[in-house]
Structure 1
């Protein structure tokens, strides 16, 4: 039995943040029905590269779902949608603020049809505030949140993260908020409206950078691969390429010095504590760099593991997928689709002692399951 069996999600969302969230719900057993415009409304289907004419971007966020066609701009489409809402648990959408209300499908209207409905709206800036009606894509959110300002080389320009991190983080909050609302519904028998904003999520994810500013006024700057608060904690060049080394405690630093055969560094007044090491970071980093360049990454990793100091190769994507650790954790899955064949995907990272995540459906074609729901008189 899956934990979200008998939970039905009507997924009106597009692109990544909300669809990735509904995919997690589907992995946990929910029936997720993508409701799409007959002409196609999800631009992610058009973003390459492609496999058998299917967007790999679309494939990464839509397994275990069904797809039906419904035009919500027509009276008939809206009435059919309301019929679906009667038996649904969750509506998930990421239209611009006010769009659903203009179609007569706001939470206030839909809860008249189903008082137990949980309605999650994902937008760039939320349902309130001066930017509520503005569009907000991931790179814009990264820029506005300050994330880009603290990402990249000190000598270079502000840089976005290499994946749509604001969308990814928001997808997690989609799941967290919906699971919390389901639990509250168990207790109260009432649904509710969830207002999720990408900017809110990204601001809350600034973590120690936010705390430093709010409590001391310190505005963090770009540090490249160095850490704002800890040293040595960065990439070092080895004989065959870059290696990330994270020395997070005074105890680890003492072991690190022993590993480098420079026990005297641990007694050096400049390096006795993390605070002092940050103050003298440039000197310390140069001393370490003069040594790391003398061995290969694998040689250093063997030593780091022996001394229990966190470290890892800076891998290419191809190298990352070839790691024995990833293979041992069985993180690559395959699904078959009768039209476009086999697709590979990253499995859910959730691993339970008494629950197996099930992967049943390949990401659907546009409207692939419309007939199934027409036969069941739901459309």
Structure 2
């Protein structure tokens, strides 16, 4: 065990699909755990074939599988189930992401697995949770954005609720699942048994939207001050986000705009006043900011300590001098893809090095033979399993 690999020696068997649970497993791998991804024989995890240009790896499959080993197993066959039981021997963590009820029909629910391996930590990930009237509803990130009010808090100029495309619900749910597993691994040192852990996109989305929800509870359904303190405004050559904060924030902002008179205008000197007069204030700010370039305003706001950022396109950030100077991204080659992919460093984990296990997302079933040999299967047994279609064929 070390700071670079605190989970070295931890074995994880990962049956999850999609991105939320797989990403949690990927984080375990990045911190040293051996994570065995068990995939379907017909193309593997569905995210591998969800992109217009499938090559065995997609954006989601790379994000969710860096550092893992992949084995293809037919879990609908008795022989495939026998393979999975062999993989579970000595495992510390078992992860599944099927709809409620599916894993029990396969014979690997928590009760059954923990009877044989009582020390195991078992994670179930689902959309709406394991119980309740919506438990069996199919759900993905955008569904929970809509359900929890997150989309309603992010409306366009016409008032239409907007879906945030960068899968925030999946990401936050994955992080909660990772922290729950990490805490459980720590606590298990003094516990005689493992435990069952449930995580759902519903839980993650609820926390993602908690700030807005609590604001509405506290202020009787309204969100006072939010749009008075921050805004995205057009400039002469793009858009810029500005946030006004602190006791001196409004005055500094007005001086940066070269309109100090706004700082003395009685309608705008207080938060309450800016909220009450936001319909008047917003057009004034838009007119001022639209007259000059992003570069001009960045220089002015930096000089006066005003929080701000140009609204970059996703790829613009890669070439920002600050991002380049900090070495935030590693450009990694991945199986099945012709280009290198920019992958940000994971906080607290060592830098990703091209060609290493931690920096590689395997193709579906790529490690079948390696995994089976590590679990005591002889070459003849592996050949037999492949010939019967129980595990992935040779690559």
Scaled by the length of structure 1, the TM-score of the pair is 0.91
* 1:242/1:160 CA distance change after superposition, 3 Å: same
* 1:294/1:213 CA distance change after superposition, 3 Å: closer
1:103 aligns with 2:101: no
What does the per-residue CA deviation read over 1:243-278, in whole Å, with 9 as the maximum and x for residues that have no partner? 111112331111111222332322322122222211
Residues 108-123 of structure 1 aligned to structure 2 (within 5 Å): 108-123=111-126
- Any stretches of 5+ residues in structure 1 without a counterpart? 221-226
Mapped partners of 2:335, 2:172: distance in 1: 32
1:330 aligns with 2:333: no
Partner of 1:261: 258
SS at match of 1:209: helix
The one of 3, 7, 19 equivalent to 1:4 is 7
What does the per-residue CA deviation read over 1:306-347, in whole Å, with 9 as the maximum and x for residues that have no partner? 111111111112212221122122122234457756632322
Contact 1:250 1:272 in 2 (8 A): no
The one of 194, 206, 209 equivalent to 1:206 is 209
1:376 aligns with 2:379: no
What does the per-residue CA deviation read over 1:52-74, in whole Å, with 9 as the maximum and x for residues that have no partner? 56323322321111101222222
> How far apart are residue 281 of structure 1 and its match?
1.3
SS at match of 1:213: helix
The one of 22, 25, 39 equivalent to 1:22 is 25
1:365 aligns with 2:363: yes
> How far apart are residue 168 of structure 1 and its match?
1.4
> How far apart are residue 363 of structure 1 and its match?
1.0
> How far apart are residue 215 of structure 1 and its match?
3.4
SS at match of 1:150: coil
* 1:228/1:182 CA distance change after superposition, 3 Å: farther
What does the per-residue CA deviation read over 1:80-117, in whole Å, with 9 as the maximum and x for residues that have no partner? 21222221111111100111111221111111122111
Residues 156-195 of structure 1 aligned to structure 2 (within 5 Å): 156-195=159-198
> How far apart are residue 41 of structure 1 and its match?
4.0
Partner of 2:77: 74
SS at match of 1:149: coil
What does the per-residue CA deviation read over 1:166-220, in whole Å, with 9 as the maximum and x for residues that have no partner? 1111111121111111111123242111111111210121132110233343155
Partner of 1:223: none
Tell me the C-alpha RMSD between the 2 structures. Answer: 2.1
Mapped partners of 2:337, 2:284: distance in 1: 55
Contact 1:8 1:31 in 2 (8 A): yes
Scaled by the length of structure 2, the TM-score of the pair is 0.87
Partner of 2:88: 85
Partner of 2:226: 229
> How far apart are residue 234 of structure 1 and its match?
0.6
The one of 307, 310, 314 equivalent to 1:310 is 307
- Any stretches of 5+ residues in structure 2 without a counterpart? 378-395
Aligned length: 370
* 1:228/1:166 CA distance change after superposition, 3 Å: farther
Tell which deviates more after alignment, 356-365 or 30-39: 356-365
Contact 1:45 1:54 in 2 (8 A): yes
Contact 2:48 2:58 in 1 (8 A): yes
SS at match of 1:163: coil
Mapped partners of 2:288, 2:332: distance in 1: 47
* 1:334/1:155 CA distance change after superposition, 3 Å: closer
> How far apart are residue 32 of structure 1 and its match?
1.0
Contact 1:50 1:56 in 2 (8 A): no
What does the per-residue CA deviation read over 1:92-148, in whole Å, with 9 as the maximum and x for residues that have no partner? 111001111112211111111221111111100111111112221111111111111
Mapped partners of 2:170, 2:26: distance in 1: 13
Partner of 2:385: none
1:273 aligns with 2:250: no
Partner of 1:217: 220
1:300 aligns with 2:297: yes
* 1:339/1:148 CA distance change after superposition, 3 Å: closer
